[in-house]
Amino acid sequence: MDRRLLRALAFVGLTLGIHAVLFSLYVRLVAPDHQAIRTERAVLEAPRVLDLLIVGDSHPRTALVPHLMGPGVANAAVGGEHYLKIWYRLRALIEAGDKEVGAVLLPLDASSFSSWHAENFAPEYVWGRYVDFFEVGAVRGKPRAYTARWVKAHLFPYAGELRTLNQIRTRRYGFGNVLPEGRFGGHSVRDRLVLARASAWDHFHDVELIDPGLLWAFHQILSWASASEIRVVLVSFPITGAYDRWSERVGAWDRVREEVIAPILADGEHLYIDDHDRFFGHDELFSDAHHLNGVGRSLYSRTLRRRLVLEGILPR
């Protein structure tokens, strides 16, 4: 055999071997530890019949304690899980475990439709387990970009993943286990205003307040739930007054109320609970400008449970 061909074959074999090792190491590091996969396992291990399945981003994750709400409640929310992720993952959670779910709870906040993180699907290996990147690419009019995401998710998940590896090392973001326990109220009034503005800046500065892809996914969820005879509970979670002032100032709440909430209320099929101002003036219940701490989490879990019992979502 030609020596050059032998060298080429050896190079290809070495490259494939290195790829296989990197792929295997990456999967072993990421798969067991990401919140999306951990909460998926927890839901699959939960009773087959659930009164309420909680999904969504860091607001329901940090605000609701399942065991304080009832034995038939599971919280599968993951920080950064926007509606496009929810649309695909919610169905996977229910169908993979052959679950019978009475209702699903989703966040509906001023920032829920903001494009600030609408393109975030990192790590692609994790979200590629659920998300149909080809469909998202077609919806967004970016087929090439989302084909590249599919390739990364399924063929080269380790590429460009130093950020993910650092998150694993520091136990942060999707790889953290600890819910926030800080006291936002412990800061001075001035510092709280500054911190609230910084959070609002991240969510609302130079973004689309209503991202078309997120809005599409939101309506897909509602339509699917209706067809599946699953009730939808939409909650505007408690935030601080300081953060609310900034979200009102940029017009985020006005857009969400007019374009999303008003049609839902007019339709009457789904339940909307507006608790965004429930703890105004009680910054001691928050870990930061828009996440509850342990005390706030316990209080709000019991408060929301009472409301859901009255609405017939949860049993007495």
Which sequence spans correspond to the domains of the chain? 35-121+180-310
**Cα gap 81→117, rounded to integer Å:** 9
Cα–Cα distance for residue pair 309/83, rounded to 1 Å: 26
> Helices (H) and strands (E) in the chain — how many of each?
15, 7
The Cα–Cα gap between 189 and 53 comes to 37
The per-residue b/e assignment along 219-254, b for 16 or more CB within 10 angstroms, e otherwise, is: ebbbebbeeeebbbbbbbbbbbbbbbebbeebebbe
Q: What is the mean pLDDT of the chain?
A: 92
Count of other CB atoms within 10 angstroms of residue 114: 25
pLDDT tens-digit map of 126-155: 999 999 999 999 999 999 999 999 999 999
**What is the spatial distance between Cα 118 and Cα 86, in angstroms, rounded to a whole number?**
12
For residue 1, the model assigns a pLDDT of 61
pLDDT tens profile 257-297: 999 999 999 988 999 999 999 999 999 999 999 999 999 99
Per-residue pLDDT of the chain (316 residues; tens, 9 = 90+): 677 877 878 888 888 888 888 888 888 888 778 889 999 988 888 888 999 999 999 999 999 999 999 999 999 999 999 999 999 999 999 987 788 999 999 999 999 999 999 999 999 999 999 999 999 999 999 999 999 999 999 999 988 887 887 787 777 777 777 788 889 999 999 999 999 999 999 999 999 999 999 999 999 999 999 999 999 999 999 999 999 999 999 999 999 999 999 999 998 899 999 999 999 999 999 999 999 999 999 999 999 999 999 999 999 8
Domain 35-121+180-310 in CATH 3.40.50.1110? The answer is yes
Residues 6+ apart with CB under 8 A from 302: 68, 69
